[in-house]
Structure 1
């Protein structure tokens, strides 16, 4: 697991602008947020939090190719809070997958699933990327284990042990 590295604090005015851009994006105006975040990114290219929020603003607008360099920068720079790191790994992996960069998607999503083993979304997106690379067996195993460990469906719960068993050996027969 990566040891968190403290970020250099943004100047108060820039931190307020970052918070406002996030609020605007969450409020349903991602294009305005994106423009604000692009300006912040130009001023503070070494801030991982600004890069992450810039990636997210592009991603939510369907501008995946433009989001990639921001995600990559956010993950490479020190100071990204743990929850944002999780989101950046998921966002970058998912974005790589959407762009057809399936091998890169598997690499990033596998890294995310290793750093955040309890995160079901990372495992689900990893399974999709594995499917895209022909890793059907591993994808199915991941999804069955995720289903068995998280489902509240009464039928799944009743057969949880069997699902977990077969997830470990999909070719097992009686």
Structure 2
């Protein structure tokens, strides 16, 4: 049996365990795979994910970083790795790093509402509440399928850029 086949089979088994709710059982084989294939972005991403699922955020970070620094992730997995790393850094209180990660993600995946929502949370945590609200309002206006939000989309977008606008009487 060649090593590529062994790698693929072991990765499939570990991912299936995680997907079936057995993250603890998936963790050890994923860590072993990550040690055997340190340059493999897909394995690094899956290893980060299992650590996140288990609430081991600090342990997930280096695997997310490894996944994003390598090649071979699908766009979907690259997006997930960015979101996972940004979210994890925010949960760990690394707010500026979370903001940087999520902004970098939005360079690759512009206008992605999930990334924008997580960026807004990180901005809020880093003391940039005004920018966070602006981003959330713009995301709401752009993505909501609610008819009433749609009716007021232009106003929401306008006020997102000028939250302190006050109409003075007689002007």
TM surpasses 0.5:
yes
What's the counterpart of residue 50 of structure 2? 57
What's the counterpart of residue 87 of structure 1? 80
What's the counterpart of residue 111 of structure 2? 118
Which of the pair has more CA radius of gyration?
Answer: 2
Instruction: Indicate which of 122, 128, 148 corresponds to 1:129.
Output: 122
What's the counterpart of residue 137 of structure 2? 144
> CA–CA distance in 2 between the matches of 1:126 and 1:105?
8
Q: List 4+ stretches of structure 1 deviating above 4 A.
A: none
Extract unaligned runs of 5+ from structure 2. none
Alpha-carbon distance, 1:173 to partner: 2.5
Alpha-carbon distance, 1:153 to partner: 2.2
Q: 1:34-92 CA distances to partner (integer Å, 9 max, x unpaired)?
A: 11101111111110000000000000110000101100111111222221111111000
Q: 1:133-157 CA distances to partner (integer Å, 9 max, x unpaired)?
A: 1111111110001111111223212
Select the structure with the greater relative contact order (CA < 8 A; seq sep ≥ 6).
1
Extract unaligned runs of 5+ from structure 1. 1-9
Q: 1:18-39 CA distances to partner (integer Å, 9 max, x unpaired)?
A: 1121111111111111111011
Aligned length: 165
Say yes or no: does 1:17 pair with 2:10. yes
Mapping of 1:150-169 within 5 angstroms?
150-169=143-162
Say yes or no: does 1:44 pair with 2:37. yes
Alpha-carbon RMSD:
1.2
**SS class of match (1:11):** helix
TM-score norm. by structure 2 comes to: 0.92
